[in-house]
Chain A
């Protein structure tokens, strides 16, 4: 039997004080959101989203982006944009918000970069490029919203991309989720133990980063060993 000191046998008379550590809560929410996104097997369009094979969707998406990029005729770009907007309208609210906001941000940045063109007498270039960027990013957004990650990576095989590349991509996505879970637990542990004023917040966060890095290295080593044990060689 262990003998405990007196302070452990009495109730703690502690008056908590407030601290500016909202970043822990925000980090938790951010990691949770990303993990939920990566784990989600739900796709927009419901059954329709799953009706087309991933390689076909990938081919169509890349072909449309290519057409949109190299086309000199704005009619082509506007036709693709119209198709894209119709598809965007069919997305669920969350995916719609994400796709449109990302595409608008990309279009805004490209417009900003091309702003000097307006003053140099070529205002049309800004409109053309921004429209093309908006259309292309929206296409990628639609593809990501309507296709699960694993289907998307396996769809790359249709382009004769080497298996090792697809495998590495798959493993990376899988390990992002696993490492995310570890980081989330660490942030939760930090939150639970942050019961007062933490004067070394940066030290606590760097500790979490260091442990996550060490864990990732350990998992990578273990995975390499497991692959070797299962017969994978360096030339695979």
Chain B
């Protein structure tokens, strides 16, 4: 039986008194794909932020590979950095993830910080440029790219850190049909390679195609499971 990587127990969260998550509990096993579905404003994005340690629960516990993730543990800089390396987040809007001079630097940003030697970093960048079919974009400035190309670069910049878990917020949003098909195929390949994936989507087809489990969030910010 695969190990549980993510465990949320009775999580509650509110923005200035406005409830965003209500008694949310679930777990994600290694290699599993969990899909979050629900209407706008039900708390999917908040939940993804919490999974990535950007916000912390007001009630309940979040454990990642048996380590508690809360404001206290994340004050430890080394622990926080290792945690962020292990869980990669692809934002819904790829624009906000791209701030380097060119695509090559963007993908190399994470592995360079990890202290890998220049040759290994270059090799990783080349591997990902090839895997995501963006070799021709290597020297281009990220802000000049199309939406689909930006999404690929954002994905590559996260995968270059070789995370254990990949979290994606609405990965198909704003993409044309061809890029959507490519992305679904790419995510299926990641599944085959054993990547643990958590993603939110409004697309029922994607949810049923990729999800080992689908977690449906109600409008009252609580959760239901569809197995």
Q: Is the CB of A196 within 8 A of B189?
A: no
The listed residue (A1, A7, A9) touching B194 by CB distance below 8 A is A9
With contacts A185-B91, A196-B114 taken as known, whether A2 is within 8 angstroms of B54 at the C-beta atoms is: no
Question: Does A188 count as interface, using CB distance less than 8 angstroms?
Answer: yes
Instruction: Report the separation of the CA atoms of residues A191 and B81 in the bound assembly, to the nearest whole angstrom.
Output: 9
Q: Is the CB of A189 within 8 A of B84?
A: no
Closest A residue to B100 by beta carbon equals: A207
From residue A121, how far is it (CB to closest CB) to chain B in Å?
53
Instruction: Report the separation of the CA atoms of residues A215 and B32 in the bound assembly, to the nearest whole angstrom.
Output: 36
Question: Does A223 count as interface, using CB distance less than 8 angstroms?
Answer: no
Q: Which of A13-21, A69-77, A101-109 forms part of the interface with chain B?
A: A13-21
Q: Is the CB of A16 within 8 A of B85?
A: yes
Across-interface contacts of B162 in A (CB, < 8 A): 7-8, 12
Q: Which of B89-119 contact A (CB under 8 A)?
A: 89, 91, 93, 95-101, 109-110, 112-115
The listed residue (B84, B86, B186) touching A193 by CB distance below 8 A is B84
Question: Does A127 count as interface, using CB distance less than 8 angstroms?
Answer: no
Question: Helix, strand, loop or mixed for chain B's interface?
Answer: helix
From residue A5, how far is it (CB to closest CB) to chain B in Å?
4
Question: Does B7 count as interface, using CB distance less than 8 angstroms?
Answer: no
Instruction: Report the separation of the CA atoms of residues A195 and B89 in the bound assembly, to the nearest whole angstrom.
Output: 13
From residue A160, how far is it (CB to closest CB) to chain B in Å?
36
Most chain A CB neighbours (cut-off 10 Å) among B84, B98, B158, B192: B84
Instruction: Report the separation of the CA atoms of residues A96 and B75 in the bound assembly, to the nearest whole angstrom.
Output: 30
Instruction: Report the separation of the CA atoms of residues A192 and B189 in the bound assembly, to the nearest whole angstrom.
Output: 24
With contacts A192-B89, A195-B110, A211-B99 taken as known, whether A17 is within 8 angstroms of B189 at the C-beta atoms is: no
Q: Is the CB of A16 within 8 A of B110?
A: no
Query: Would you list 20 pairs from A and B whose C-beta atoms are within 8 A, ordered by A residue?
Result: A1-B192, A2-B131, A5-B127, A5-B131, A8-B193, A9-B193, A15-B82, A16-B77, A16-B78, A16-B85, A182-B96, A188-B54, A189-B96, A192-B89, A193-B110, A195-B85, A195-B110, A196-B85, A204-B109, A211-B95
What 14 new A-B contacts, CB under 8 Å, besides A2-B185, A17-B115?
Answer: A3-B131, A4-B131, A8-B159, A11-B164, A12-B86, A16-B81, A16-B85, A189-B99, A192-B89, A193-B158, A194-B81, A203-B100, A208-B99, A211-B99
Residues on B lying within 8 angstroms of A by beta carbon are: 16, 49, 52, 54, 77-79, 81-82, 84-86, 88-89, 91, 93, 95-101, 109-110, 112-115, 124, 127, 131, 143, 157-159, 161-164, 185-186, 188-190, 192-194
Residues on A lying within 8 angstroms of B by beta carbon are: 1-5, 7-9, 11-12, 14-19, 36, 40, 182, 185-186, 188-198, 203-204, 207-208, 210-211, 214-215
